[in-house]
Amino acid sequence: MNVRISSVDEIMSRVHERDPDQQEFHQAVHGVFETIGPVLERNPGYRRLAVLERIIEPERIIVFRVPWMDDAGQVQVNRGYRVQMSSVLGPYKGGLRFHPSVNLSVVKFLAFEQVFKNALTPLALGGAKGGADFDPKGRSDGEVMRFCQAFMSELYRHIGPDTDVPAGDIGVGSREIGYLFGMYKKLSNEFTGVFTGKGLVWGGSLIRPEAAGYGVVYFAAEMLATRGKTLEGRRCLISGAGDVALFTAEKVLALGGRVVTLSDSTGLIYDEQGLDSEKLAFVKELKNVRRGRLKEYKERYPDVVYLPCDPLLDHNSLWSFPADCAFPCATHNELNAKDAERLLAGGVDLVCEGANMPSTSAAVQIFLAQKILYGPGKAANAGGVAVSGLEMAQNSMRLSWPREEVDARLKLIMKIIHKSCLDIAHDYGVPGNYVAGANISGFIKVSRAMVEQGLV
Ligand code: NDP
Ligand code: 2IT
Q: What is the DSSP string of 163-206?
A: TEEEE-BTTB-HHHHHHHHHHHHHHHT------SS--GGGTPPT
pLDDT at 315: 64
Counting Cβ atoms within 10 Å, is residue 313 exposed (0-12), middle (13-18) or buried (19+)?
exposed
User: What is the crossing angle of helices 208-225 and 383-397, to 10°?
Assistant: 130
pLDDT above 90 for 2:
no
Tell me where in the chain the CATH 3.40.50.720 domain(s) lie: 211-380
Q: Check if 264 has its Cβ closer than 6 Å to any atom of ligand 1.
A: yes
Burial 8-17 (b: 16+ CB within 10 A, else e): eeebbeebee
> Given ligand 2 and candidates 114, 181, 356, which is best to mutate, with the most ligand atoms within 8 Å of its CB?
114
Nearest-angstrom CA–CA distance, 324 and 144: 40
User: In one letter, which amino acid is 66?
Assistant: V
3-state SS, one letter per residue, for 281-293: HHHHHHHHHCCCC
Q: Which ligand does the CA of 95 lie closest to?
A: 2
Pairing type for strands 92-98 and 127-132 reads parallel
Measured in degrees and rounded to the nearest 5, phi and psi for residue 69 equal -110, 130
Amino acid identity for residue 420 in this structure = S
Q: Other CB atoms closer than 10 Å to residue 435's CB: what's the count?
A: 23
Q: Is 20 exposed, middle or buried (0-12, 13-18, 19+ CB in 10 A)?
A: exposed
Across the range 70-94, mean pLDDT stands at 98
Among 120, 123, 216, 385, residue to substitute to test ligand 2 (most atoms within 8 Å of Cβ)? 385
Ligand 1 centroid – CA 99 distance (Å): 10
**4-50 residue pLDDT tens:** 567 888 999 999 999 999 999 999 999 999 999 999 999 999 999 99
pLDDT value at position 314?
Answer: 59
Which CATH fold topology does 60-191 show?
Rossmann fold (3.40.50)
Residue 73 has pLDDT above 70, yes or no: yes
Average pLDDT over residues 182-200: 97
Q: What is the CA radius of gyration of the chain?
A: 21
Strand bridging mode 305-308 / 127-132:
unpaired
| Three-state DSSP class for residue 69 | strand
Listed residue (84, 80, 97, 102) closest to 152, CA to CA: 80
Between CA 216 and CA 309 the distance in angstroms is: 25
Mutate which of 170, 172, 296 for ligand 1? The one with the most ligand atoms within 8 Å of its CB, which is: 170
Atom of ligand 2 nearest to the CA of 113: 1
Q: How far is the CA of 170 from the centre of ligand 1 (A)?
A: 4
* Cα–Cα distance for residue pair 264/207, rounded to 1 Å: 23
Q: What is the pTM of this model?
A: 0.97
> Side-chain half-sphere of 109: how many Cα atoms within 13 Å?
25
Distance 312 CA to ligand 1 centre (A): 13
Q: What is the mean pLDDT of the chain?
A: 96
- Measured CA to CA, the distance from residue 356 to residue 358 in angstroms comes to 6
pLDDT category of residue 313 using cuts at 50, 70 and 90? low
Rounded Cα distance, 199 and 179, in Å: 11
The DSSP code sequence of 89-151 is SSSEEEEEEE-TT--HHHHHHHHHHHHHHHHHSSS---EEEEEES---TT--HHHHHHHHHHH
For range 412-439, the mean pLDDT: 98
Over residues 104-124, mean pLDDT:
98
- Quick check: 353 pLDDT over 90? yes
Span 419-428, average pLDDT: 98
Distance of CA 260 to the CA centre of its chain: 23
| Average pLDDT estimate for 409-420 | 98
Mean pLDDT computed over 350-365: 98
Give, in words, the CATH class of 211-380. alpha beta
| pLDDT over 80 (residue 307) | yes
244 lines ligand 1 (CB under 6 A): yes
Question: Does residue 9 sit in helix, strand or coil?
Answer: helix
Residue 91 amino acid letter: P
- Report the alpha-carbon distance of residue 445 to residue 439 in Å, rounded: 10
Give the pLDDT confidence of 209-262 residue by residue, as tens digits.
999 999 999 999 999 999 999 999 999 999 999 999 999 999 999 999 999 999
Kindly list the protein residues whose Cβ atom lies closer than 6 A to any atom of ligand 2: 93-95, 114, 117, 167, 169, 196, 356, 384-385, 388
Tell me which residue has its CA closest to atom 20 in ligand 1. Answer: 265
pLDDT tier for residue 208 given thresholds of 50, 70 and 90? very high
C-alpha–C-alpha distance, residues 212 and 386, integer Å = 9
- Please state, in angstroms and rounded to a whole number, the distance separating the CA atoms of residues 315 and 319: 8
Residue extent(s) of CATH 3.40.50.10860 domains in the chain: 60-191
Ligand 2 midpoint to CA 169 (Å)? 6
| pLDDT digit string, tens, across residues 250-298 | 999 999 999 999 999 999 999 999 999 999 999 999 999 999 999 999 9
Distance between the two ends of the chain, CA-based, in angstroms? 24
